Amino acid sequence: MTKQINLIKLSVGTESVEGLEEWQQMRAAATDGASRHVTRMWPKREAELLNGGSIYWVIKGIIQARQPILRLDEVIGGDGIRRCAIVMKPGLIRTEHALKRPFQGWRYLTFEDAPADLKEGKKHEEPLPAELSAALAEIGVR
């Protein structure tokens, strides 16, 4: 039986989930319409990622959303170097907030360590400011 694993990635320069969504829509419109993130490193745990994995997005030091991973595509850059395009389902799924220290690139994230999706009723509530959410998460209140 194939295990499952997720990725976690910083969304550098993004101020909010809405900002990430807008940026992805703009990039998708300029290409083939798919949401994707291109990275230099090809995930070694490909089968586990493609078995229900998602990318969890860290925005302003807090995990705030995720996107299911659909497939991994090979991309050859203008410099001739092979890269991995992580193709994701369009749209973001908001998650409970969880603090995350800065890191480079992407990392694996187990299902056990991943924050839960927001409950249906909370998805339409105005999100807390990032600073307040971070302070609450730091003391263990979500």
| pLDDT given for residue 126 in this prediction | 60
Along the 142 residues of the chain, how does pLDDT read in single tens digits? 669 999 999 998 899 999 999 988 888 776 777 888 999 999 999 999 999 999 999 999 999 999 999 999 999 988 999 999 999 999 999 999 999 988 888 999 999 999 999 987 665 556 666 667 667 766 766 5
**Amino acid at position 35, single letter:** S
Look up tokens 């090809």; give the residue.
Answer: 42
Please state whether the predicted TM-score (pTM) of the whole model is above 0.95.
no
Q: Which two tokens stand for residue 63?
A: 């995990």
DSSP character at residue 58: E
* CA atoms of 100 and 106, how far apart (whole Å): 12
| pLDDT given for residue 105 in this prediction | 87
| pLDDT given for residue 130 in this prediction | 65
**Amino acid at position 73, single letter:** D
* CA atoms of 116 and 5, how far apart (whole Å): 14
* Cβ atoms of 21 and 67 closer than 8 Å: no
